[in-house]
Structure 1
Amino acid sequence: MASLDVAESRIYDPNTLLILTSPENATQLLWSKAQPNWVCGYALDDSFPAPEVVIELLKNEDMIGWRAFWLGLLIRYLLVEGPTELGDFIRQRLPRDWPNLERADVSAWYDLARTNISEINDLIDEADEYLERIERDLFVTYRGLETFDAAGSYVAIRALIGLWFDRLRRWRHIRAKIFLRPDLYHVGRLNFPDASKLSAYLIRLDE
């Protein structure tokens, strides 16, 4: 394995999607290496829904339903907490009958996200094109995902990784940095097309 400094430098590579490290190291890295264009997509704080709440709400959903959750959560964060100009850009393009995406309560917007998943994807496509025009990149960070596994749903993690892996070529200016505990990474558990190709897009910072 490469030295820690060399491996850590790869965090900045836009194609590095998955960072395998301990939760403690993930927190330290985000404090020490985060850039102005890094925004939080999920973490264990009051800004995001508790895993138990989400698992209960989505208990009968399939992989598409879980992807709709992560997409809806991304849109909500960009509207409420993301860069002001990008939030304004997205808000101007929201259909008028989509009033709930800025609500913190997942149950307030999940059904809308699930029903309109294609439209949300298109909206993020437009946001990605907007970032290209203003020559800016945005990296969405995820940590604390082990709590979904502890609460009984690895499918939440699988859906998140699969979603962003599928969009590595689709979104060029909106990218993800997913911090995951090393023992939770296993291609057999991921169970999405081309999951075995993830090795080219991940780094290991500890064993």
Structure 2
Amino acid sequence: MTEAPLTAREYRDLLSAALEEAITADARRPTAHTLFTPDSHRSALYVDNVVVQGGRGVGKTFWYWSLLDETLRGLAADEYRINRLRRLRVAPGYGLASRHDCYPGPMVLRGLLERGEDPYDIWYTVLLASLGQPDLLGLTEWADRIAWVRAHPGPAERTIEEADRRAYEDNIVHLLIFDALEHLQAERRQTDRLVGGILRLALQMRFATRSIRLKVFVRPDIFEAARHHFADASKLSAYSARLEWTPTDLYGLLFHYLGNEDGDTARRFRESTGGWVPEGDGSRQAPPRLLSGSEQAQKDVFEEIADPFMGSNVRRGKTYAWLPNHLMDGRGQVSPRSFLEALSTAAETTRSNHPDHGRALHHEGIRAGVQKASARRVEEVSEDTPWVELAIKPLAGYQVPIPEATVLSAWKEANLSAVLAEETARYAQADTPDLVRTGPRHPDDLARLITELIELGVMNKPRSDGRLDLPDVYRIAFGLGRRGGVPRSQA
């Protein structure tokens, strides 16, 4: 006897339970149940790609922890058919976890920089320690370890050469991985120097060795700034990948979480959608059509969960396409965290405001979810690049698309160049070491500020008439309007 399909309330409860962990993924270690392998991320795991760029919430920390875990590496090797992942010896070069034995933390790094240490020497020493250089293992302080390396360049070089030779003979690769680089130092100029040292070492190992590699998970703006701190940085572009998400990847991630939740409701969801394959680790592999193989199959399942339209009919938009479209930044990219948070909020809003609705997600709940995701995204960009908020604030109340001349006029009226100069001076003061210096590169050139905002994905210029737009994921929380669009956030 076939079981009855899930009710709207059961779907709603399943969404809330499954997505609670997903939207705080950076704070939790990945597991076999949460490991999701979109096709577009394959190149990020190529061992020879030493730089992996990605903004907030796209999976940098997820893959950092997955590479450190032998079991998860094996699962990724199977899914991506990258056998080389099974032949890695992985060590952390830097991350959020406190690991003084593996790398110096922010306080120690600040002291090392104040002593005049070269960032390259710091990370070269971290690499030697990860390779088990015996003289370093007997020293507990990083300052002493760096001093030993400086005093013994010959033995240090031979350690690299010997480790590379043995790894090549054993058909393995030593991989040193870096994450959370925005937390290296509060003062951005020091962070740029430190990341420049990591990238310089990564490039050197890529060309000088056969079996020693670095993999650096980094925000694009930090990567671009750090490249100015050493020669030949442009060569890294050939060994760089980006973590990006397509709409079908995002819906595949959603179904992956629903199908891997514990309990009877998740079991019934798997049975109703069919084709799930149990893995030996207890996880379940979704059928390809639900991951990224069939947009129509994804639409059919999602329309059992959410209203098919963002109103009473198709003129308001089809929900399956509408949701990712309204979460895209100016470069067409969607953070999976924003996507999942919007759905989680939609479930809670529907539960509160439309508890008897025939589907788990009411279209007004989805609009509320996009508003919540927009607010979170603006918080993130304001933390990462505070000058962006200063630039967009004078535009609050305007409606997009907006003529470039209107933007420049609003900025001049707000005396934006002076405001940015004042902020830059604050960051440069010796008695404010905890402030983060994040740009912009050309604070005195208002026209070039527009270019920088477009590069960050906060603005775009999609129209032939030259008018500027703000994607909804930023527009809503920043307080700009759009005719017929999602209402801007109210204070």
Aligning the two structures, in what range does the TM-score lie when normalised by the shorter sequence?
Answer: 0.7 to 0.9
Question: If the length of structure 1 is used for normalisation, what is the TM-score?
Answer: 0.77
Aligned partners of 1:101 and 1:108 also within 8 Å: no
Give unpaired runs (5+ residues) of structure 2: 1-36, 74-85, 245-332, 334-491
Residue 61 of structure 2, aligned match among 22, 27, 36: 27
- Matched letter for residue 120 of structure 1: A
Is there any run of 5+ residues in structure 1 with no aligned partner, and where?
A: 80-89, 92-97
Match of 1:51 in 2: 106
**Inter-CA distance 138–182: structure 2 relative to 1 (3 Å threshold):** same
SS of the equivalent of 1:44 reads coil
- Residue 15 of structure 1 is matched in structure 2 by 48
**Map of 1:60-71 to 2, 5 A cutoff?**
60-61=115-116, 65-71=118-124
User: Letter of the aligned partner of 1:43 in structure 2?
Assistant: G
Q: How does 1:122-201 map to 2 (within 5 A)?
A: 122-152=158-188, 153=190, 154-186=192-224, 189-201=227-239
Query: Residues 113 and 13 of structure 1: is their aligned pair in 2 closer, same or farther, counting only changes over 3 Å?
Result: same
Q: CA deviation at 1:169?
A: 1.8
Question: Which position in structure 1 is the counterpart of 2:486?
Answer: none
- Aligned partner of 1:111 among 142, 147, 163: 147
Instruction: Tell me how far apart the structure 1 counterparts of residues 127 and 98 of structure 2 sit (CA, whole Å).
Output: 16
- Number of aligned residue pairs: give it: 185
Distance 1:188 1:106 in 2: 23
Q: Greater RCO between the two (CA within 8 Å, min separation 6)? A: 1
Tell me the distance in 2 between the aligned counterparts of 1:187 and 1:108: 30
Partners of 2:67 and 2:148 lie apart in 1 by 35
Quick check: 1:139–1:177 contact (8 Å CA) kept in 2?
yes
Match of 1:85 in 2: none
Pick closer, same or farther for the CA change 1:174–1:201 going to 2, 3 Å. same
Mapped to 2, the partners of 1:115 and 1:7 lie a distance apart of 45
Between the aligned residues of both structures, percent identity stands at 24
Larger Rg: 2
Amino acid at match of 2:38: D
2:116, 2:56 → 1: CA distance? 27
Say which structure is richer in strand.
1
**Cα contact 1:7–1:203 (8 A) shared by 2:** no
Separation in 2, partners of 1:57, 1:156? 11
C-alpha change, 1:145 and 1:121, in structure 2 (3 Å) is farther
Moved more, 15-24 or 153-162: 15-24
Give the 3 Å change call, closer, same or farther, for CA 145–103 of structure 1 in structure 2: farther
Displacement of 1:131 in angstroms is 0.6
RMSD: 2.5
The offset of 1:6, in angstroms, is 3.8
Q: Are the equivalent residues in 2 in contact too, given 1:140–1:176 (CA < 8 A)?
A: yes
What corresponds to 1:121 in structure 2? 157
